[in-house]
């Protein structure tokens, strides 16, 4: 059975938020409808996003590094958000495995949000209905677009190509190969939801710096500033300040 999903390479993601903004732009004008942004530049902004990037440091000082972690609906094979919905608004499509919300049926009760262990659902503060990532379902099946553009907006926008899209159940697909060859993993598998989205782990790279490489003689960042002389004569080498 087909299961469309995203595979995100944490070793490549630079936390630029291009996926966040492109997702919001496309879905606001697409089938998802209005995505609220109330008081976006104030002290207490409120907004609805299908995709967010969380950044945090790992390791112990001074040996630390920043990890950028994009997160959205994981389109689980066994989504806990579906059976708790009292109106049937939350459902999983059999044709491609995408989990969606029928806005005409949603009553904004928050049951699906409470059931989701990943915090991937958001109640739109304006329309009072639940919204979530749709994998740009209105775009990926749009035959008026070139085949190369029938991908989620976040995938097309990523400048580092950290996001892949395809059928994770097809062993020959790009996403399945990436998962298999790069040790792709599911988020919080202990919950038994079988998330379709996978992450490719960060790879620790160790760089050895030799003593004679600590300062380059031809350092392009070095700039020199001449100190003016009281008598307007040319400064000597010893009177030149290096920055």
pLDDT, tens digit (0-9, with 9 covering 90-100), for 118-140: 999 989 888 899 999 999 999 99
148 within a domain of the structure (yes/no): yes
Q: What is the span of the domain harbouring residue 16?
A: 4-200
Say which DSSP state 215 is in: S
pLDDT attached to residue 202: 87
| Ordered DSSP codes for 104-156 | TT-----HHHHH-TT---EE-TTT-SEE---TTHHHHT-TTS-GGG-S-HHHH
166 within a domain of the structure (yes/no): yes
Using alpha carbons only, give the angle 89, 94, 95 rounded to the nearest 5 degrees.
Answer: 120
| CATH number (domain holding residue 119) | 3.30.70.20
Using alpha carbons only, give the angle 108, 114, 119 rounded to the nearest 5 degrees.
Answer: 100
Secondary structure element (H or E) that encloses residue 20, with its range? helix 18-29
228 within a domain of the structure (yes/no): no
**pLDDT tens-digit series, residues 147-198:** 999 999 999 999 999 999 999 999 999 999 999 999 999 999 999 999 999 9
Residue among 112, 166, 161, 105 nearest 135 (CA): 166
What pLDDT band is residue 242 in, cutting at 50, 70 and 90?
Answer: very low
117 within a domain of the structure (yes/no): yes
pLDDT attached to residue 38: 76
Report CA-CA distances (Å) from 129 to 51, 105, 106, 122, 208. 17, 9, 6, 8, 53
pLDDT attached to residue 241: 46
90 within a domain of the structure (yes/no): yes
232 within a domain of the structure (yes/no): no
pLDDT attached to residue 110: 95
Where is pLDDT greater, at 243 or 24? 24
Q: How many domains does the chain have?
A: 1
229 within a domain of the structure (yes/no): no
CA dist 166 and 163 (Å) reads 10
pLDDT attached to residue 63: 80
pLDDT attached to residue 126: 84
**pLDDT tens-digit series, residues 83-112:** 999 999 999 999 999 999 999 999 999 999
236 within a domain of the structure (yes/no): no
């Amino acid at each position: 059975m087909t299961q469309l999903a995203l595979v995100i390479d944490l070793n490549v993601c630079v936390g630029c938020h291009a996926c966040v903004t492109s997702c919001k732009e496309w879905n606001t004008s697409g089938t998802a409808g209005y995505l609220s942004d109330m008081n976006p530049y104030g002290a207490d902004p409120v907004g609805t996003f299908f995709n967010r990037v969380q950044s945090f440091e790992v390791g112990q000082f001074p040996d630390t590094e920043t990890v950028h972690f994009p997160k959205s609906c994981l389109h689980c094979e066994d989504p806990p958000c579906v059976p708790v919905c009292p109106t049937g608004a939350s459902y999983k499509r059999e044709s491609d495995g995408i989990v969606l919300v029928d806005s005409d049926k949603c009553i904004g009760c928050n049951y699906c949000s409470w059931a989701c262990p990943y915090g991937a659902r958001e109640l739109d503060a304006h329309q009072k209905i639940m919204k979530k990532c749709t994998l740009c379902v209105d775009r990926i099946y749009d035959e008026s677009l070139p085949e190369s553009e029938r991908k989620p907006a976040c995938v097309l926008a990523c400048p580092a190509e950290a996001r892949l899209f395809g059928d994770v159940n097809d062993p020959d697909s790009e996403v399945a190969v990436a998962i298999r060859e790069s040790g792709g993993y599911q988020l919080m598998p202990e919950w038994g939801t079988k998330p379709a989205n996978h992450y490719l782990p960060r790879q620790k790279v160790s760089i050895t710096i030799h003593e004679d490489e600590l300062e380059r003689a031809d350092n392009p960042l070095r700039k020199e500033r001449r100190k003016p002389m009281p008598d307007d004569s040319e400064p000597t080498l010893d009177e030149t300040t290096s920055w």
